[in-house]
């Protein structure tokens, strides 16, 4: 399958994209090209990064930009997932060896998750990658990254437990184990995929920085001094899913409804938010352990510098 040298990154200015670019540069193994929207404001990247403007709606524009690229890494935002269809088509036409589409999250191979409307755009892109790999078995391949929940001392932790404001909606009792992954470990996973092409070809890789529960996060916050003043509510993810499906069918595609689906996906037991088998060792993910989780909770409790 050869080696990867030239890597194009899409969505490089986002919360996932920035660490990916930084990690790939740090390896000193790759030449990085960032694709940006045609006519958009030029964003600052390190001087060694090549920047190309593209039209994401144009396969020909993307194909031209991807000529000579060995791999494409997408970190497109949730709202733009469907834009990746043109990206996949262009990558296959340009002779790209490996594409990592923007999936980052739960196990979309889980049959329960496949019925949830917000995950269907991601599934459609993965299926398109599968089709292109079948059509070009010697030249094109794909890998998706499944990391379940994101883990950082900003809103990504707040989504599970807001330790700064001492409030949380406890789902399914609060003891359901789920995987949580830092942006830095996601970035290392990308580097690991690009240096382990054979082992990661045409499949998802599953990673986790730490496995935890809502109740454990609250317990850590209390150990760190947040002992009083908690505002806790309780809900069942099955009920949330039923409500979300009803509202979605009625045309309500609000953030509140999307959050209901997401909570069902990564906290609902058996829904693909916990991976008993991980690819951490293959991809160079050391994990953060409970001490690292404690450090993130501490930062989230005192985030004035982050707000």
What does the pLDDT look like over 221-230, one tens digit per residue?
A: 999 999 999 9
pLDDT at 41: 58
- At residue 190, what are phi and psi to the nearest 5 degrees? -60, -45
The predicted model gives 266-290 an average pLDDT of 94
CA–CA dist 272, 4 (Å, integer)? 30
The predicted model gives 17-44 an average pLDDT of 88
C-alpha distances (whole Å) from 63 to each of 100, 236, 237 are 16, 46, 43
3-state secondary structure of 203: strand
The predicted model gives 205-219 an average pLDDT of 97
pLDDT class of 45 with cuts at 50, 70, 90: confident
Strand partners, 230: none
Instruction: Compute the C-alpha angle 209/46/20, nearest 5°.
Output: 20
Global pTM reads 0.94
Q: Hey, what are 170's tokens?
A: 């406890």
CATH 3.40.50.720 maps onto the chain at: 6-148+182-206
Pair 273, 265: CB distance under 8 Å:
yes
pLDDT class of 140 with cuts at 50, 70, 90: very high
148-206 pLDDT, tens digit each: 999 998 877 888 999 999 999 999 999 999 999 999 999 999 999 999 999 999 999 99
71: left (phi over 0), alpha (psi -120 to 50) or beta: beta
Q: What CATH number has the domain spanning 150-179+210-276+286-301?
A: 3.90.25
C-alpha distances (whole Å) from 208 to each of 74, 85, 146, 151, 273 are 20, 28, 9, 10, 10
Q: What CATH number has the domain spanning 6-148+182-206?
A: 3.40.50.720
The predicted model gives 86-114 an average pLDDT of 95
Question: Smallest Cα–Cα separation from 53: which of 10, 111, 104?
Answer: 10
| Measured torsion, CA atoms of residues 167, 169, 171, 175, in degrees rounded to the nearest 10 | 10
CB-based contacts of 306: which residues, under 8 Å, 6+ apart? Answer: 153, 154, 299
CATH 3.90.25 maps onto the chain at: 150-179+210-276+286-301
């Amino acid at each position: 399958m050869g080696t990867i040298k030239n890597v194009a990154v899409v969505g490089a200015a986002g919360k996932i994209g920035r660490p990916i670019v930084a990690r790939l540069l740090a390896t000193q193994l790759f030449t990085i090209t960032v694709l940006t929207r045609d006519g958009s404001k030029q964003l600052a990247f390190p001087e060694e990064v090549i920047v190309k403007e593209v039209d994401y709606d144009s396969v020909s524009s993307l194909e031209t930009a991807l000529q000579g690229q060995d791999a494409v890494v997408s970190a497109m935002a949730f709202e733009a997932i469907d834009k990746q269809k043109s990206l996949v088509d262009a990558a296959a036409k340009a002779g790209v060896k490996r594409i990592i589409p923007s999936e980052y999250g739960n196990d979309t191979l889980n049959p329960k998750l496949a019925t949830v409307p917000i995950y269907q755009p991601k599934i459609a892109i993965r299926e398109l990658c599968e089709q292109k790999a079948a059509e070009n078995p010697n030249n094109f391949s794909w890998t998706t990254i499944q990391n379940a929940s994101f883990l950082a001392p900003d809103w990504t932790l707040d989504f599970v437990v807001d330790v700064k404001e001492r409030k949380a909606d406890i789902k399914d009792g609060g003891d359901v184990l789920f995987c949580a992954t830092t942006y830095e470990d996601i970035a290392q996973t990308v580097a690991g995929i690009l240096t382990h092409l054979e082992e990661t070809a045409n499949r998802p890789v599953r990673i986790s920085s730490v496995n935890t529960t809502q109740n454990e996060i609250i317990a850590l916050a209390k150990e760190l001094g947040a002992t009083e003043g908690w505002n806790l509510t309780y809900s069942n993810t099955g009920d949330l899913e039923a409500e979300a499906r009803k509202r979605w069918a009625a045309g309500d595609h609000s953030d509140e409804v999307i959050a209901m689906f997401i909570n069902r996906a990564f906290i609902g037991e058996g829904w693909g938010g916990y991976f008993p088998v991980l690819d951490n060792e293959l991809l160079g993910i050391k994990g953060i352990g409970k001490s690292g989780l404690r450090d993130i909770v501490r930062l989230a409790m005192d985030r004035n510098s982050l707000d």
